[in-house]
């Protein structure tokens, strides 16, 4: 395999976007309020500079996040992830 093709399934695309340890947690943090790099670093205990940099870059590419004057915030697309996040939290709480 390894085509990363016209993923017929929209779920597969989203899964690919979100399938890592940090992405959803970054979005979670940004959902509360825009944050600077070092603030994110402090909120996300355990994340490395490198990883945070990489994830933010990817999220910017995907237009989920924008950066203005060293401040990161969710785009309107990014805010739509709130539904996913709430669902995950709800599951996490109930299970």
Partner DNA sequence: CAGGATCCCGCGGGATACTG
Partner DNA sequence: CAGTATCCCGCGGGATCCTG
| Beta carbon nearer to DNA, 67 or 79 | 67
**How many residues make up the chain in this entry?**
95
Per CB under 7 A, residues contacting DNA are 1-2, 19-22, 36-39, 46-51, 53, 55, 57, 67, 70, 72
The partner in contact with residue 51, picked from its own copies, DNA, none with C-beta cut-offs of 5 to 8 angstroms by kind, is: DNA
Which secondary-structure segment (H or E) carries 8?
none
Query: Residue 52 corresponds to which tokens in the numbers above?
Result: 């945070």
- d(CA 57, CA 37) in angstroms, rounded, equals 12
Per the rule left: phi > 0, alpha: psi between -120 and 50, beta: everything else, 29 is alpha
The partner in contact with residue 89, picked from its own copies, DNA, none with C-beta cut-offs of 5 to 8 angstroms by kind, is: its own copies
Per CB under 8 A, residues contacting its own copies are 1-3, 9-16, 18-21, 24-25, 28, 45-47, 77, 80-81, 83-95
- d(CA 62, CA 56) in angstroms, rounded, equals 10
| Beta carbon nearer to its own copies, 45 or 69 | 45
Q: How far is the CB of 82 from DNA (least distance, A)?
A: 21
């Amino acid at each position: 395999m390894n085509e990363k093709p016209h993923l017929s399934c929209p779920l597969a695309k989203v899964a690919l976007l979100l399938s890592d340890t940090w992405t959803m947690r970054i979005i979670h943090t940004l959902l509360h309020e825009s944050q600077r790099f070092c603030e994110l670093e402090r909120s996300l205990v355990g994340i490395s500079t490198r990883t945070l940099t990489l994830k933010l870059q990817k999220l910017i590419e995907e237009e989920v996040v924008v950066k203005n004057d060293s401040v990161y915030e969710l785009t309107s697309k990014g805010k739509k992830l709130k539904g996913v996040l709430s669902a995950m939290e709800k599951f996490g709480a109930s299970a």
